[in-house]
Every structure is written in C-alpha cells, then in structure tokens.
Amino acid sequence: MILYDYWRSSSAWRVRTALHWKGVSFERRVVSLVKDGGEQHREEFQTLNPSRQLPVLVLDDGVHALTQSMAIIAYLEERFPTPPLLPAWPTPRRRERTRSPSVPPTRARDGDVGWCQSRHSSPRKSCRT
Ligand SMILES: N[C@@H](CCC(=O)N[C@@H](CS)C(=O)NCC(=O)O)C(=O)O
C-alpha cells in the first residue's frame, strides 16, 4: 500500500497511526501542504484525489485510491480485524468513535497545517515545511 502523507496533516497522521497499530506495511509518499503553495495542487496529485487533500491510501492493486481518513480507517479495520482499533464493548466503542474524528490538542498545537495557517497572515510562507 502507498500512503500519501505529510507530517502536518492530522488526518494523515490518524491513518498512519492505524496502519502502524495493525502492522500493515506501507510505502510513504510525502506531499507537502506548504511547499510551493502546496504540492496537493499539482496535477498528478489531483488525479489521485480531486479534492486535493491528504490522506490518500492506494491499495496493493495500484488501482483503488481511498480518501477520507475515517473511511480509510474503517476499511483497515474490516480488512485487518486484528488487532482491533475499537474496544469490544458498546460504550467505549461509542466514545472512541466520537473522539477519533477530532484532532488531539497536542497534535493541533504542534503540527497541524490548519492550526499553523490560522496563526500567520501569509500562512503558506510562514509554516515550516
Ligand atoms: N475529512 C478529511 C479531511 C482531509 C483534510 O482536511 N486534509 C488536509 C490535511 S489534514 C488537507 O489535505 N488539506 C489541504 C489544504 O489545506 O489545501 C479526512 O478526514 O481525510
């Protein structure tokens, strides 16, 4: 599998964490959301994801490109059920499903591109790549 990824992407970080947790091997391709106005706007990336967003997970068949972090994680959970990402019981499962679409506060503070942009008037130039 190939994960299109960037350290400032909290959504890609979520998928990367799930892949590591499940022990799935993957190749990482970095798409800087900052460099040169954002590499996600390049034509070759738009072909992969017309929404121009990370993450994108390309499956082993090299054909299917999955987008939307929570949908990718649901796919990983179905395809690789062990070890599970969610607790067995309904109440903690519900709690994790509520929590997981949010960016953890430390992650938001330290790296997220949205956070960085909200603090700079010229965000693409000011955010460290
Ligand atoms: N709902 C999407 C959100 C994806 C998203 O917002 N990705 C951000 C990085 S975390 C992105 O690629 N932004 C592109 C941009 O800022 O132009 C998901 O969970 O995958």
What are the structural domains of the chain? 2-126 (3.40.30.10)
Q: Is the model's pLDDT at 72 over the cut of 70?
A: yes
* For the CA of 12, the nearest atom of ligand 1: 10
Task: Indicate the DSSP class of residue 39.
Answer: G
Question: Tokens 């929404």 sit at which residue?
Answer: 51
Residue 4: alpha-carbon gap to chain centroid: 8
Going by alpha carbons, the residue nearest to atom 13 of ligand 1 is 53
How would residue 100 be classed by pLDDT, with cut points 50, 70 and 90? confident
Comparison of pLDDT for 83 and 114, the residue scoring more: 83
* For the CA of 53, the nearest atom of ligand 1: 12
Q: Which residues line ligand 1 (CB under 6 A)?
A: 9-11, 33, 38, 40, 52-55, 68-70, 113
- CB–CB of 2/29 below 8 Å? yes
Q: What is the pLDDT of residue 53?
A: 98
Strand partners, 27: 2
Q: Is the model's pLDDT at 124 over the cut of 70?
A: no
Q: Is the model's pLDDT at 73 over the cut of 60?
A: yes
